[in-house]
A and B are shown apart, each in its own frame.
Chain A
């Protein structure tokens, strides 16, 4: 067949019905304060790593709950664990432990070991 150079892009839409909820469940079970987030962005505004990299904790933790898991393991590695986000969070989310938990969950998920826990 003649190749005209056209390709079909993969949909970037979140398909919640198909999305994996395993990481979300793990994160909520291990750091229940994740449920307190109201998406205000204080953590991201004050983030040391966010000044030099695209690290965005507000978005990352939402992506976890929507099953948008691509590259999240690498993303969480940008955090320097300075803890400033935890000081500014108005809802008292344990943000530093949240980052660690997401990172651990993603590592397990990418190894295919998450469901065994």
Chain B
């Protein structure tokens, strides 16, 4: 391809959305620069061990997505200092002094996990044996086993759904979508590791929304013997022997219940990453009350921002699972293609 006429797209964020969109754009004949704040590509996927529904290693998916990045200009450990618009082009200044000129910009800044410290009554960071789903995933990935803070095999573990989701007081009214199925996955993995450990999932609704998820739930109940209790954790307290005493209502029995667990796992939700970019007047992003980005039309133009030449992909527009993100990234690439064809 004649590089002098080749148009240039800058993709912001090298999580799975940014990586996939970059690969698709490159396939469509564009020069692509992929910018990432962190030292390596992968985003939140870097923190995960195995993925629902088939427990495929996250490293495999990451490897596959990375293998598609050939020919793409990947810049890691880079922050954007400034974005200006000159005629139809965007001028991006990066913290290493690089100045990039782009014909289109794709925002793929993703999500961050809910900070469980904010849910103080659940005791994260206060009690020894309260963990988050991210911690559990790290233990699976790095230590290959799950142990209490004092290094013992847990005999009873409680998973708490909806931590930082569907919670007015946490400021997050929305459902984060993937935590239910992640709890089912982690609870099953734990039972696989320790068949004698009692594992409970405390839920408000179980949202097994996608293909294969209901099967995972069924397997968790029958094959692994995970117990599901409909009731949201109201409070947690540490016992003298560093276990966690929890109070819930078993709403299907219609009675309050207390039990002591060796480990409490908080299923943290997704939150929009309100980076400095969100305030850039050039990008003109519209940030919702829920701190996710608003597209022009949530039905028909989900990848279009309100600014011409600025596009959106991935979880920056709301919670999504991996196949949704990759489909969204591909769709965004096509919308950018259509935009640049029309401009030609």
Instruction: Using CB atoms and an 8 Å cutoff, list the residues of chain A in contact with chain B.
Output: 12-17, 32, 35-36, 38-39, 58-59, 62-63, 65-66, 68
Contact = CB atoms under 8 A, between A and B. Distances in A.
Chain B binding surface, main DSSP class: strand
Nearest to A28: B225
Nearest to A12: B255
Nearest to B260: A17
Contacts of A68: 253, 255
B254 interface: yes
A54 to B, nearest CB: 12
Given A59-B253, A62-B252, A66-B250, A16 B222 contact: no
Of B228, B253, B257, chain A has the most CB atoms within 10 Å of the CB of: B253
Contacts of B259: 15-17
Chain B: interface size category: 10 to 19
A64 to B, nearest CB: 10
A14 B255 CA distance: 7
B230 interface: yes
B248 to A, nearest CB: 9
B256 interface: yes
A62 to B, nearest CB: 5
Nearest to A21: B198
Contacts of A35: 221-222, 225
29 contacts: A12-B256, A13-B255, A13-B258, A14-B250, A14-B253, A14-B256, A14-B257, A15-B257, A15-B258, A15-B259, A16-B257, A17-B259, A17-B260, A35-B222, A36-B218, A36-B222, A38-B206, A38-B228, A39-B230, A58-B252, A59-B252, A62-B252, A62-B253, A63-B253, A65-B227, A66-B250, A66-B255, A66-B257, A68-B253
A58 B258 CA distance: 21
B254 A13 contact: no
Of A15, A16, A63, chain B has the most CB atoms within 10 Å of the CB of: A16
Interface string B219-233: 001100101101000
A38 B254 CA distance: 15
Contacts of B222: 32, 35-36
B254 A59 contact: yes
A65 B253 CA distance: 10
Of A12, A17, A58, A68, chain B has the most CB atoms within 10 Å of the CB of: A17
Interface in B43-90: none
A89 B257 CA distance: 27
Contacts of A63: 253
Interface string B241-269: 00000000010111111111000000000
A68 B252 CA distance: 13
Contacts of B258: 13-17
Contacts of B228: 38
